[in-house]
């Protein structure tokens, strides 16, 4: 099950003007704004991979060929914010909604995000489609300050060492992200 982002404008956790202030760049010189925006997006994506957390809010679709026997579906998106909709795929490519209460978010939405499935009707060969809202910001929890600082520091390191042969090691950046890293067993 691979989550697919279906909605939500990506609003980065750090803005270009904030980064300009952090780097002590001239606020009136916008010549490198496109570069700074790209570096922010890259730093956020790296931290999302490293921490296994979604740093920007969005709506994600999960497709299950068949529901698990125990009704528990681990979701690789953290933090989970809300269940948007759930249902079965229709023969015409549409969506047949499930009744309320048949799919619910698990108790721990940050450290062990998951879905709990109730007694579902017979799928009859149809896929179960679930859409969830996930990510920090928006309706979700606020982005923890150490993760925001990690985005700033990683972006600043990439900016300062652009074009260099050796990339910065990012040791202190890993220390900022370490308390938020979700481990897999």
Q: What is the pLDDT of residue 185?
A: 54
The Cα angle at residue 6 between residues 5 and 10, in degrees rounded to 5: 65
List, in sequence order, every residue forming a beta bridge with 4; answer none if it has no partner. 61
SS3 16: helix
pLDDT in tens, 8-28: 877 899 999 999 999 999 988
All structural domains of the chain with their residue ranges: 4-54+141-180, 58-134
d(CA 109, CA 80): 5
pLDDT in tens, 115-170: 999 988 887 888 999 999 999 998 999 999 999 999 999 999 989 988 765 555 55
pLDDT in tens, 71-124: 999 999 999 999 999 999 988 888 889 988 999 999 999 999 999 999 888 878
pLDDT in tens, 53-72: 999 999 999 999 888 889 99
SS3 46: helix
Cβ-contact 127, 62 below 8 angstroms: no
Q: What is the pLDDT of residue 179?
A: 75
pTM for this structure?
A: 0.82
Confidence of residue 43 (pLDDT cuts 50, 70, 90): very high
Q: What is the pLDDT of residue 183?
A: 66
């Amino acid at each position: 099950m691979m989550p697919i982002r279906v909605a939500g404008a990506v609003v980065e956790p750090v803005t270009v003007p904030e980064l300009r202030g952090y780097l002590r760049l001239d606020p009136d010189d916008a010549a490198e704004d496109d570069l700074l925006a790209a570096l922010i997006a890259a730093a956020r994506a790296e931290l999302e991979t490293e921490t296994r957390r979604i740093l920007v809010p969005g709506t994600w679709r999960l497709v299950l060929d068949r529901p698990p026997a125990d009704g528990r579906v681990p979701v690789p998106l953290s933090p989970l914010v809300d269940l948007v909709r759930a249902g079965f795929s229709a023969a015409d490519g549409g969506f047949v909604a499930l009744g309320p209460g048949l799919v619910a978010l698990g108790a721990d939405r940050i450290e062990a995000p998951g879905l709990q499935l109730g007694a579902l009707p017979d799928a009859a060969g149809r896929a179960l489609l679930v859409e969830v809202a996930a990510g920090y910001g928006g309706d979700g929890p606020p982005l923890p300050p150490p993760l925001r600082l990690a985005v700033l520091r990683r972006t600043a390191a990439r900016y300062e060492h652009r074009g260099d042969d050796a990339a910065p090691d990012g040791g202190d950046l890993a220390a900022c992200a370490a308390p938020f890293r979700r481990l897999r067993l």
